[in-house]
Chains A and B, each alone.
Chain A
Amino acid sequence: MPTNLMWLIFLLPVASFVIVSALIKPFINNESKLPGYVTILAITGSFALSVWALVTVMSAEGHVIDVPAITWLNIGNLTISINMIMDSLTAVMLVVVTFVSLMVQIYSLGYLHRDPVNTVDTGFPRYYAWMSLFTASMLGLIIAGNLLMMFMFWEMVGLCSYLLIGFWFHKPAAANAAKKAFIVTRLGDFGFLAAILLIFANTHTFDTNALRDLAMTGVLAGNVLTWAAIGIFAGAAGKSAQFPLHVWLPDAMEGPTPVSALIHSATMVSAGVFLVARTFPLFVFSTQALTTVAIIGGFTAIFAASMGMVMNDIKRVLAYSTISQLGFMMLGLGASGLGIAHESNLTAEIIRGATAVGIFHLFTHAFFKSLLFLGSGSVNHASGTFDMRKMGGLGKAMPWTCITFVIGSLSLAGIWPLAGFWSKDEILAKAMENQPFLFVLALITVFMTAFYMFRAVFMTFSGEYKGGEVHEPHDAQEKASDHEEHNAHTTQPHESPAIMVLPLVLLSILAIVAGFWNITGAFSAFMGHETESKTIIQGLFGVFTENWLPIASLLVAISGIFMAYVMYSVKWLSPSKIADGFFKPLYILFSRKYYMDELYENIIVSKLLLGGLFKGFQKLDEQVIDGTVNGAGSGTRNSGNVLRKLQNGQLQFYGLFIGIGIVAIAVCLFIFG
C-alpha cells in the first residue's frame, strides 16, 4: 500500500468536514440529506483504506511499516516533523474507529433527520460537519507519531466532544454537560501536557519511537519516567473517564444518542486507553506507574459498575458500563505490563504485545458498546423516553432492536462465545497473575456487568409496555427544548426504519464474531505477543479445559443475568423491597453516584474554589489591580484639584510667576552656567 494513501485515511474526513461546513452548507436547506451522504462517502473511503492498511500491516515484516516523515517546523536545531506510526496498534484502531464511525453516520441519517431542531437551526449539516471533524481528529490521534501531534489531535477530539455533547445547545442540561466534559477532561490534559514538557525537557524529542528507544536503553528512567508516565495517565484518565475524573461521562449522555455511541463508548473515550498503549514503553519501565494504572482501572471498573446497577436512564446505565469497561482495559494494560516488567531484554515487540490484552478489549468493546448505544437510541425513537421505568414490552414491537440489543448485552456480560467473553477473560487472567486483589474486584464487576445489562434488557424489552413518554407540545419553545421526547408521539411503539436497523445488525454480527480473532492467538501475535497457536476448534472449546478461570467468570456472568431475571422479569424478588430493606444505604449511595457530583460541585467548586481561591483572586483583583488603576486616576484628579487652584485667572499672579521664573533662570545661569 502506498504510504500516501495512508495519509488519505486521515484526510478524507477532513475533506468532508471542509466540504460540508464550507462548500455545501450555504446552498442547502435543512431537509437535505446531502451532508450525510458526503460524510458517509468519505468515511467509507477511510474505512476501505483502513482495511487495506490493516492487511498491509499484517503481511509486513514485524507488523510495522515505515512512513516517511514530513518536516513541519525547524526551530533552532529542533526539527518537529509530521510523522505517522503505522504498526499493528494503529491499524487495529483505524479499522475500529472508521467502522464504528461509518455505522453511526448511517444510523444518524435516520435518527437525526427531520430532527425538530433542524427547523430552528442548521442542525443536520452542523452535525455531520462536526462528526467528520471528530472522526478526522480521532484518526489523526491514532496515526500521530509524536507527542506534539498527539496532543493537538487529543485537544481537537476534546473540542469535538464539547461541540457534539452540546449539539442541542438550547437545552441547558446539554450546554452544561458539554462544559463539564470540557473542563473535567481539561484537568487530565493538564497532566498530559506537563508530561510532554517534562519529557521534552529531559530528552529534547517528541518522537514516540525515539522515546521508546530512550526508555529501553535506560536513558529515560527513574523519577522522570515515573512522573511522565503518571502525567500521561492523568490525561488518559480524563479522556477515558477514569476515577476521579469520570463525572463528565454520564452527563455527556445529554448529547444525541449516535454521538454517545461514537464518542462516549467506542472511540473518544478509548483514546485514553490508546494513549497509554501508545506510550506503553514509558509505563513498562516504571512499576509505580503500572501499578497506578492497574489500581485506578480496577477500582473504576467496580466503582462505575456499582452505579450502573441502580440507574433508571438506559443511556446512563450504558455510560457507567462504558466507564467500567474502560477501567477493565486500563486494568488489562496495567496488569499485563506488570507481567513483563521484571523480564530482562524487553524488545519493542514484546512491549507492544503486552498491550494486546487491553487493546483487544477495546476492539471488541467498541462494537458491542456502540451497538448497545444505537439500540438505546432506537428504543428512544420508539418510546420517546430514555427512562426504563416507562418502557417494557418493547421486544414484541421492535424485534430487530431487541435481538441486537440482547446480543450486545450478552457480549458485554461476557457470555461464551461472544466477543466480550474472549477479551474480558484475558484481562481477568492477567489480573489474576499480577494483581490478585484487583482480580477479585474484577470478578465482582463481571457479576455487576451482567446484572445491570440484563436489568436494562428486562426492563426495556420484557413485560408490559408502560406507555413511554407521550405529551403534546404546548408551545413552540417546549417543542424545541423537549423535542427528543417527541421523536415518537404515537402511543404504539414501532420498529425503527431500516437505515437505523442496518447498522445495528452489522454491529451485532461483529459483536458476535470480533472475539474469534484472538481464539487462535492471532490478535496477540499480530500485536507482537507470540503464543502457541491453536486451531479455531481448540481455541473455541479448549478454553474451558485449560484452567478454571473462564468457567468461573462465565458462571459469575450467568448468575448476574439470573439475578436480573429474578428481580426484573419474573419478580420473585421485588427490586423496591431490596432497595428499601437491608441494602438501602448501598442503594442510596449508588444512586447518588457516591456523592461525587456533590463533592465536586458543593465542596470543591463552591467552597474551595469559589469560596476560597476565587474569592482570594477577587480580592486581589478588586483591591490590588483595580486599586492601582483607580489610584492612578484619583491621584491625578486629586493633584489636579490642588494644582488648578494655581490657575486663579489673575493676570498679575501669572506675571509674578513669570518674573520669579526669569529670576530663577538667571540665578541658575549665574550659578551653573
Chain B
Amino acid sequence: MVGLQHYLILSAALFAIGMYGVFVKRNAIAILLCVELMLNAVNIALAGFSRYVTPAALTGQIFVIFIMIVAAAEAAIGLAIIIAIYRNRGSIDPDKINLLKW
C-alpha cells in the first residue's frame, strides 16, 4: 500500500538530489536542471498532500500546474541569461561569474 509518506520520501530525495546538484555543479545549465528537479520534488509533495489530506478539494493539484508553468517561464529566462553570459564571457562556470566579488 502506497501512502503519503512514500510520496514525501520520494519528494525529499528528489529535492536533496536537486539541492546537491545546485551546490556542486560547475555548469550553469546543469544547475538550472537541478533547480527544475527541486521544483518538481515540491510538485510531488503537493500532489501527494492534495490526494491524501484534502481529497475533495483540488487546490494542491492546481498549484502544481501553476508551478509547472512558472518553472517553464523561469527556465526560458534562465537559459536566455545563460546564453547572454556565455556570449559575454565565453564560459558558463558560475565560479567565474564573480564581477561583484570583493
Binding site for B on A (CB under 8 A): 644-645, 647-652, 655-656, 659
Contact = CB atoms under 8 A, between A and B. Distances in A.
A647 B101 CA distance: 7
Nearest to A645: B102
B52 interface: no
Nearest to B102: A644
Nearest to B21: A652
B19 A649 contact: no
Contacts of B31: 651-652
A659 B19 contact: yes
B94 A659 contact: no
A650 to B, nearest CB: 6
Contacts of B102: 644-645, 647-649
B19 A651 contact: no
A650 B95 contact: yes
Contacts of A645: 102
B97 interface: yes
A651 B19 CA distance: 13
B39 interface: no
Interface in B79-102: 94-95, 97-102
B23 A659 contact: yes
B22 interface: yes
Describe A's contact surface by its main secondary structure. Answer: helix
A649 B98 contact: yes
A649 B101 contact: yes
B101 A652 contact: no
B24 interface: yes
A651 B22 CA distance: 9
Interface string B13-44: 00000010011110000010000000000000
17 contacts: A644-B102, A647-B101, A648-B98, A648-B101, A649-B97, A649-B100, A650-B94, A650-B95, A651-B31, A651-B94, A652-B22, A652-B23, A652-B24, A655-B19, A655-B22, A655-B23, A659-B23
Contact of B94 (A647, A652, A656): A652
Given A649-B97, A655-B19, 16 more contacts: A647-B101, A648-B98, A648-B101, A648-B102, A649-B98, A649-B101, A650-B94, A650-B95, A651-B97, A652-B23, A652-B24, A652-B25, A652-B31, A652-B95, A656-B23, A659-B23
A138 B97 CA distance: 81
Nearest to B97: A651
A451 B87 CA distance: 108
Contacts of B99: 649
A651 B97 CA distance: 9
A644 B24 CA distance: 22
A648 B23 CA distance: 14
A647 B102 CA distance: 7
B19 to A, nearest CB: 6
A670 to B, nearest CB: 15
Contacts of B101: 647-649
A656 B19 CA distance: 9
A372 B47 CA distance: 114
A652 B22 CA distance: 7
A163 to B, nearest CB: 59
A105 to B, nearest CB: 75
Contacts of A648: 98, 101-102
Q: Which of A647, A655, A656 has the most CB of B within 10 A?
A: A655
Contacts of A651: 31, 94, 97
A649 B97 CA distance: 8
A661 B55 CA distance: 34
Nearest to B35: A655
A140 B97 CA distance: 81
B23 A650 contact: no
A545 B64 CA distance: 132
Nearest to A653: B23
A651 B95 CA distance: 7
A652 B19 CA distance: 10
Contacts of B25: 652
Contacts of B98: 648-650
A655 B97 CA distance: 15
Nearest to A651: B94
B18 to A, nearest CB: 11
A164 to B, nearest CB: 64
Contacts of B19: 655, 659
Contacts of A649: 97-102
Nearest to B94: A651
A152 to B, nearest CB: 61
Contacts of B97: 649, 651
B25 to A, nearest CB: 8
A631 to B, nearest CB: 24
A477 to B, nearest CB: 59
A652 B98 CA distance: 12
A616 to B, nearest CB: 43
Contacts of B95: 650, 652
A659 B97 CA distance: 21
B32 to A, nearest CB: 12
Contacts of A652: 22-25, 31, 94-95
A659 B19 CA distance: 8
A158 to B, nearest CB: 60
3 residue pairs, one from A and one from B, having the closest CB atoms: A649-B101, A649-B98, A651-B94
A642 to B, nearest CB: 12
A48 B25 CA distance: 104
B97 to A, nearest CB: 7
A649 B100 CA distance: 6
B41 to A, nearest CB: 14
Nearest to A646: B102
A647 B100 CA distance: 9
Nearest to B98: A649
Contacts of A659: 19, 23
A648 B98 CA distance: 8
A648 B102 CA distance: 7
Q: Which of A645, A647, A650, A652 has the most CB of B within 10 A?
A: A652
Contacts of A647: 101-102
Nearest to B16: A659
Nearest to A657: B23
A651 B81 CA distance: 15
Q: Which of A645, A649, A650 has the most CB of B within 10 A?
A: A649
A666 to B, nearest CB: 12
Nearest to B26: A652
A168 B100 CA distance: 65
A655 B99 CA distance: 18
Contacts of B23: 652, 655-656, 659
A342 B88 CA distance: 108
A175 to B, nearest CB: 55
Nearest to A652: B23
A655 B19 CA distance: 9
Nearest to A648: B101
A656 B94 CA distance: 14
B78 to A, nearest CB: 12
Contacts of A650: 94-95, 98
